[in-house]
Amino acid sequence: MAILKVARLGHPILRQQAEPLTRSQVRSAEIQRLIDDMIETLHEYEGVGLAATQVHMPVRLALVEVPSGEGREAVALTVLVNPNVTPLGDERVYGWEGCLSLPDLRGVVPRQRRVRLEALDRQGRPFELEAEGFFARVIQHECDHLDGVTFVDRMDDLLSLSFLREFERHVGLETGPIED
């Protein structure tokens, strides 16, 4: 396994539409190795999600893993292949987001409160689930990457865009996510 280089905002790969994978491609040694390397990379950078485009691979593959803490429910490592997200309802919520491709930046982003996710798992088997709150936010964030969209593209305005150090100093993590 290897820790992969994460593309930063400005690299053209982050604006590309990722290509779907076939079930046989998902099961291939190359994609299984990519998944393992993405898991190691996600853990190394202490992220909660990572899209293949962020590690310079234009395929529709992402990971989500949320540790418990900061008022969040834990989410076990979930591999998303060819994910499709459908909003459940019209309710949108605002919350702080960051991104491994925009290191040290945070901003307030509106997202759907609840979503349905349809995808293939690591073995190429279809699954679906419903998610809400932070889990739904991470799913939407990672799926956006697969469509060439970053969180700053989703911000209503850039007034909340902050460097992490200033965010911690002036906004503070004790405020938690903005959910309403």
Look at residue 164 in the predicted model and tell me its pLDDT: 84
Q: Is 142 tagged catalytic?
A: yes
Per-residue pLDDT of the chain (180 residues; tens, 9 = 90+): 899 999 999 999 999 999 999 999 999 999 999 999 999 999 999 999 999 999 999 999 999 999 987 778 899 999 999 999 999 999 999 999 999 999 999 999 999 999 999 999 999 999 999 999 999 999 999 999 999 999 999 999 999 999 988 888 887 644 444 433
Residue 118: give the domain boundaries.
Answer: 12-175
Q: Does the residue 2 lie in any domain?
A: no
Look at residue 168 in the predicted model and tell me its pLDDT: 83
Q: Does the residue 16 lie in any domain?
A: yes
Q: Rounded distance, CA 42 to CA 138, Å? A: 13
Domain with residue 67: its CATH number is 3.90.45.10
Q: Number of folded domains in the chain?
A: 1
Which one is catalytic: 91, 97, 118, 142? 142
Query: CA of 103: how far to CAs of 34, 45, 60, 77, 161, in Å?
Result: 22, 10, 22, 22, 12
Q: Does the residue 40 lie in any domain?
A: yes
Look at residue 172 in the predicted model and tell me its pLDDT: 63
Q: Rounded distance, CA 15 to CA 132, Å? A: 26
Q: Does the residue 106 lie in any domain?
A: yes
Look at residue 174 in the predicted model and tell me its pLDDT: 46
